[in-house]
Chain A
Amino acid sequence: MDALADSPAPEPANPPAASVPAPPRFVSEYPSYQVSRRGFLSWLAVGWGAFAASGAAAGGAFNRFLMPNLPLYNPPMVLKVGWPDAFEKDKVDERQKPNGFWLRRGFDKATGRTGIYALSTTCTHLGCTPNYLSAEQKFKCPCHGSGFYETGINFEGPAPRPLERYRITLADDGQVMVDKGRKFQQEKGEWMDSEAFLAI
Chain B
Amino acid sequence: MAKTPLDEIRSSQVWRSIFRHGYPDTERNRTLAALSNIFLHLHPVRVRKSGLGVRYTWCMGGLTFFLFLVETITGILLMFYYRPTGDAAYNDIAALRDHVPLGVMRELHRWGAHAMVVSVWLHMFRVFLTGSYKPPREFNWCVGVILLVLTLLLSFTGYLLPWDQLAIWAITVGSNMARATPFLGHEGPGASALSVHGLPLIHSSDDARFGLLAGPLVGEGALLRFYVLHCILIPFVASILMAVHFWRVRKDGGISGPM
A positions within 8 Å CB-CB of B: 26-27, 30, 61-62, 64-70, 72
Contact = CB atoms under 8 A, between A and B. Distances in A.
Nearest to A61: B102
B149 interface: no
Would you call the interface of chain A mostly helix, strand, loop, or mixed? loop
B99 interface: yes
Nearest to A66: B80
Contacts of A61: 102, 105
Contacts of B237: none
Contacts of B46: 26
Contacts of A62: 73, 77
Given A62-B77, A66-B80, A72-B81, A30 B49 contact: yes
Nearest to A60: B102
A61 B73 CA distance: 12
A172 to B, nearest CB: 28
B99 A68 contact: yes
Interface in B84-120: 92, 95, 99-103, 105
B142 interface: no
14 contacts: A27-B52, A62-B73, A62-B77, A66-B77, A67-B101, A68-B95, A68-B99, A68-B101, A69-B99, A69-B101, A70-B99, A72-B92, A72-B95, A72-B99
Contact of B100 (A26, A30, A69): A69
Interface string B68-81: 00000100010011
Contacts of A30: 49
Contact of A65 (B49, B52, B77, B95): B77
Contacts of B102: 61, 64-65
Contacts of A72: 81, 92, 95, 99-100
Q: Which 5 residue pairs are nearest across A and B when measured between Cβ atoms?
A: A65-B102, A64-B101, A68-B100, A69-B99, A27-B49
A30 B53 CA distance: 14
Given A66-B77, A68-B100, 8 more contacts: A26-B46, A27-B47, A27-B49, A64-B102, A65-B102, A68-B99, A69-B100, A69-B101
A27 B46 CA distance: 10
Contacts of A69: 99-101
A138 B95 CA distance: 42
A12 B49 CA distance: 36
A153 to B, nearest CB: 40
B99 A65 contact: no
Contacts of B92: 72
Nearest to B103: A65
Contacts of A68: 81, 95, 99-101
Contacts of B95: 68, 72
A89 to B, nearest CB: 39
Contacts of B80: 66
A182 B198 CA distance: 71
B164 to A, nearest CB: 19
A27 B81 CA distance: 48
Interface string B40-74: 00000011010010000000000000000000010
